[in-house]
């Protein structure tokens, strides 16, 4: 079936930076859209950022001036550069991907066929 594998989660102090990476395992076709979601304590899983293979991005209001999403179409990977991290960014971050092509990066969670197991990001002093 294939899966997504996230890496890069860690414990970081407020104001610090982290880069999360997502790569496919056992998947040979290319993705049309990749995204990052997170589940923070006490909350449901929410969108952080998403990107189409054409480079169109969509970021949550809470992170749009601090986070950057990128996608390498050749390697079928996605990265999330997170700067100026805040304690409220603490949570489990999940990578998601779909083979379908979209012109917009604004997709519902149900549009994604592939999900990773998640990587923990903790922002604390």
- Residue 74's pLDDT band, with cuts at 50, 70 and 90, is very high
The confidence score (pLDDT) of residue 28 equals 84
Q: What sign does the dihedral 110-111-114-120 (CA atoms) show?
A: negative
- The helix (run of H) or strand (run of E) holding residue 95 is strand 91-98
- The count of other CB atoms within 10 Å of the CB of residue 68 is 16
Q: How far is Cα 22 from Cα 5, in angstroms, rounded to an integer?
A: 6
Proportion of the chain above pLDDT 70, given as a percent: 100
- pLDDT tens-digit series, residues 22-65: 999 998 889 999 999 999 988 999 999 999 999 999 999 999 99
């Amino acid at each position: 079936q294939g899966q997504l594998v996230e890496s890069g989660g860690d414990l970081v102090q407020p104001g610090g930076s982290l880069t999360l990476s997502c790569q496919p395992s056992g998947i040979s076709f290319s993705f049309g859209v990749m995204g990052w979601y997170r589940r923070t304590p006490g909350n449901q899983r929410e969108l952080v950022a998403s990107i189409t293979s054409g480079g169109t991005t969509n970021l949550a209001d809470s992170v749009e001036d601090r986070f950057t999403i990128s996608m390498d179409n050749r390697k079928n990977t996605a990265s999330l550069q997170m700067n100026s991290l805040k304690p409220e960014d603490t949570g489990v971050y999940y990578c998601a991907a779909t083979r379908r092509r979209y012109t917009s990066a604004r997709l519902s969670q149900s549009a994604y066929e592939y999900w990773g197991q998640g990587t923990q990001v903790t922002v604390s002093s």
